[in-house]
Structures are given as C-alpha cells and as structure tokens.
C-alpha cells in the first residue's frame, strides 16, 4: 500500500496546503495576478515575489522540506529518493544569457545534494502531466524497495513558456475560469508541490491518503491539441479505477486538469458526465482558477489537495486528471486510508 504521509506546497496562495481552499479572501487582499511583459499576458503571481517565482530551485526546496517535515522524516536517517516533475526545469540561466551553457533539468540533482538525499534521483518532463507521471515512477521505485520517495512538482516563471502559450492563443487576459461558459484560455502560474510517499508501515504516524491507481496513456493524435473524443483519457480512467479495485460510484471527489481552455475542459466535462453522472461536477476542485496553471507541477498540487481532502473526511476516493502537450494523459486515483490517523 502506497501512502501519502507528508505534503508541502508553495503557490500563489502561500505555503499552506489549506490556503489552496480559501482563495477568495486572499485574492481580495493580494490581487490575483501580475501582468507579464510579454504582450500584456497575465501571470498568476499572488503572494509570491518576482524573484521567488523565477527560482525553481528555491520553490522546489521549500515544498520538499515542508513535505519531509510534515511526514517527520529526516533524510539523514533514512534513504529518500526524489522524483522531480517539471515542464521546463530551471530556465533562469537559459533565459538570462542565450549563449552560456545551461542545464535546466539538473534541478533534481541540485535539490538532492542540498537536502542530503541518498536515494535515487530522477526527473520526468511530460509537460503539464509531469507530476502524475512522477507518481507512476514513484510507485515503481517503492516496488523495488526505495522505502520513501519524495515526489516534487516544480514550475517557475519562464518567459519562453509564457510566449509559447501566448503564441498558441491559449492565454486568457481576463483570467482562468475552468469549466465555465466564460472560459477562454488559461493563466500560467508558478510554484511547487511535494508529497512524501512510502510503503513502509507508519505506526502511529499520520497517513493522508493511499495512492491506489495510476494509468498513463497517450493520444497519439496531435503534438499540442487533445484528441477531441478523449478516448485515451477515458481508457486511462478505466485502467486507474481497475488497478485500485474501485467502482465509479466510489469516486466522491474530482480534481480534473481543468485548464480553462475550450477544448480540454469540454473533453473532461463530457467524460465526467458520462462516467460519473451529472452530479460529478458538483464535487470538483478546480485549482487553476486559484493558483494558475503550474504546468509540470499542476497535478502534484491536485494530488496534494485530494490527499488533504481525503484525510479530512467526506470523500472515499478521488480521481485526479492530467493532460499535456504531446498527447500525454494521466489518471491517478487516491483513496482514504482506512484506520489512518
């Protein structure tokens, strides 16, 4: 049984996972987002300063340490492996000087060295679905005896990413309104979310949730646009549910990818309606309207919120969706850890 025993987040809403559920008051106090210099496109900055959202290393470290502290795990005492998920890595060097050598995807090793982690270190970059793919990798590491795996999704503010989304007309200057009629694109955000996963007995330590099913599928259809019928997405949901031995009726909470773009939201909405009934949309958490689209980190935020909600009661199981450029899809099922503290 894979358990989530620690959670750490850094987002536009701050450094407490509980903040992710109380957006409105904070937004009123801080303002929702700053406007990027790139064609007056929005960026979801919230409480974070400009130098903070540009620093993927610091964002990742903050979230990773918070998850370890939350789980009461010291990497000096037990081996901890790190699976880093990111869409663009650390682009600061690459974007500051266009000629100097840059290794944007070296973040994981830098973080592991800084934290004294002694387990294996790897990085997955399947664009906006990266963190769910990291969950699959973490599961496989635990199966080979890793003991404790830190899953950390990190995305910093990147001019080249902002420009790319703008060039695809995927940004909405008015904001991010997933699953609403007024949706017309997304708003990028920055942050990091980390979950400490383990399959070792926890004794009297807290378990937030179980990770009970993961499926990875690819549309094989288009390099950036999703396959309109959502066939691979549906296959992934069915596989993830079957892995965990869950019936559709057991899913009480949905955290869809929900970017606020026309096509992605339509595909997900139709899938939820078809598989889970009309009331599924009343049990959704739509994070990107709160913290922006954190790309490679986004489904780590989704898993963090789902784990917290499952621990606090009410829901039996949660379905977390993720999709990305390249046609990458992922479905993750998390469930309440019965008898957990």
Partner 1 sequence: MTAPVLHIRAVSAMTPGWMGVNGGIPAAPVPDMGTWFDATAHLGRKGHRYLSHPTKYALAAAQRIGDAIRGGADAALYLGTGSADTEHRRQIVRGLNGCPDVLPGAASAPSASVNGPAGTLARIFGITGPVMTLTGGDDSALICLWQAATAMARGDVGACVIGQVEHVPGSADGAVLWSLDLEHGDSAVAEIVFDGWSRLQGDADTALLREIAAIAGEVTLIAADTPQLRALIRPLQHARCAFEFMPASTLSDVLIADMHLFSLLTLAILNGTGGSILILSGNGHLFKLSCKPRGLNNA
Where do contacts with partner 1 occur on this chain (CB under 8 A)?
Answer: 38, 79, 84, 87-89, 91, 94-95, 98, 102-109, 118-127, 133, 136-137, 140, 143-144, 158-161, 163-164, 167-169, 216-224, 232, 235, 324-328
Question: In 10 A of CB 176, how many CB atoms?
Answer: 30
Angle 83-309-119 (CA atoms, 0-180°, nearest 5)? 20
Indicate the residue among 103 and 262 with the shorter CB distance to partner 1.
103
Q: How far is the CB of 196 from partner 1 (least distance, A)?
A: 18
Q: Rounded CA gap, 302 and 26, in Å?
A: 19
Q: How far is the CB of 91 from partner 1 (least distance, A)?
A: 7
Indicate the residue among 110 and 202 with the shorter CB distance to partner 1.
110
Indicate the residue among 231 and 281 with the shorter CB distance to partner 1.
231
Q: How far is the CB of 111 from partner 1 (least distance, A)?
A: 11
Q: How far is the CB of 219 from partner 1 (least distance, A)?
A: 7
What is the DSSP-derived secondary structure letter of residue 318? Answer: E
DSSP letter for each residue of 99-129: SS---GGGHHHHHHHHHT--S-EEEE--GGG
What is the DSSP-derived secondary structure letter of residue 134? Answer: H
What is the DSSP-derived secondary structure letter of residue 227? Answer: P
Residue 122: burial class (beta carbons within 10 Å; 0-12, 13-18, 19+):
middle
Indicate the residue among 7 and 216 with the shorter CB distance to partner 1.
216
Q: How far is the CB of 259 from partner 1 (least distance, A)?
A: 15
Indicate the residue among 11 and 161 with the shorter CB distance to partner 1.
161
Indicate the residue among 91 and 259 with the shorter CB distance to partner 1.
91
**Cα R_g (the chain), whole angstroms:** 18
Q: Residue 76: what are its φ and ψ, rounded to 5°? A: -75, -20
Indicate the residue among 34 and 120 with the shorter CB distance to partner 1.
120
| Nearest CA among 203, 214, 224, 270 for reference residue 244 | 214
Q: How far is the CB of 145 from partner 1 (least distance, A)?
A: 9
Indicate the residue among 227 and 268 with the shorter CB distance to partner 1.
227
Q: How far is the CB of 123 from partner 1 (least distance, A)?
A: 3
Q: Rounded CA gap, 314 and 330, in Å?
A: 24
| Nearest CA among 302, 326, 225 for reference residue 267 | 225
| Nearest CA among 308, 294, 316, 302 for reference residue 86 | 294
Indicate the residue among 111 and 337 with the shorter CB distance to partner 1.
111
Question: In 10 A of CB 11, how many CB atoms?
Answer: 29
* 51: helix, strand or coil: helix
The pair of structure tokens assigned to 47 is 């409480």
User: What is the H or E stretch that residue 290 is in?
Assistant: helix 288-291
Q: How far is the CB of 297 from partner 1 (least distance, A)?
A: 15
Q: How far is the CB of 313 from partner 1 (least distance, A)?
A: 33
Q: Rounded CA gap, 285 and 195, in Å?
A: 18
């Amino acid at each position: 049984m894979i358990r989530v025993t620690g959670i750490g987040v850094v987002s536009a809403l701050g450094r407490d996972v509980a903040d992710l559920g109380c957006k409105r008051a904070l937004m009123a106090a801080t303002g929702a987002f700053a406007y990027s210099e790139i064609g007056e496109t929005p960026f979801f900055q919230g409480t974070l300063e400009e130098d903070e959202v540009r620093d993927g290393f610091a964002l990742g470290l903050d979230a990773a340490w918070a998850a370890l502290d939350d789980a009461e795990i010291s990497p000096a005492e037990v081996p901890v492996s790190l699976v880093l998920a990111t869409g663009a890595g650390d682009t600061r060097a690459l974007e500051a000087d266009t000629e100097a050598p840059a290794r944007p995807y070296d973040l994981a090793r830098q973080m592991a060295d800084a934290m004294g982690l002694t387990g294996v270190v790897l990085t997955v970059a399947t664009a906006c679905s990266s963190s769910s793919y990291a969950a699959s990798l973490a599961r496989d590491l635990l199966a080979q005896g890793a003991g404790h795996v830190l899953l950390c999704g990190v995305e910093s503010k990147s001019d080249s990413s902002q420009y790319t989304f703008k060039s695809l007309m995927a940004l909405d200057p008015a904001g991010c309104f997933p699953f609403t009629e007024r949706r017309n694109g997304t708003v990028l955000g920055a942050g990091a979310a980390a979950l400490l996963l383990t399959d070792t007995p926890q004794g009297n330590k807290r378990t937030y949730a179980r990770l009970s099913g993961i499926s990875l599928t690819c549309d094989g259809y288009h390099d950036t646009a999703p396959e309109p019928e959502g066939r691979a997405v549906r296959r992934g949901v069915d596989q993830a549910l079957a892995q965990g031995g869950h019936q559709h009726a057991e899913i009480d909470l949905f955290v869809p990818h929900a970017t606020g773009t026309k096509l992605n939201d339509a595909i997900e909405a139709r899938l939820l309606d078809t598989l889970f009934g009309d009331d599924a949309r009343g049990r959704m958490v739509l994070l990107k309207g709160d913290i922006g689209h954190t790309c490679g980190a986004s489904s780590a935020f989704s898993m963090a919120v789902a784990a917290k909600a499952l621990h606090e009661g009410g829901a039996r199981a949660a379905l977390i969706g993720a999709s990305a450029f390249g046609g990458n899809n992922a479905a993750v099922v998390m469930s309440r850890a019965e008898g957990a503290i």
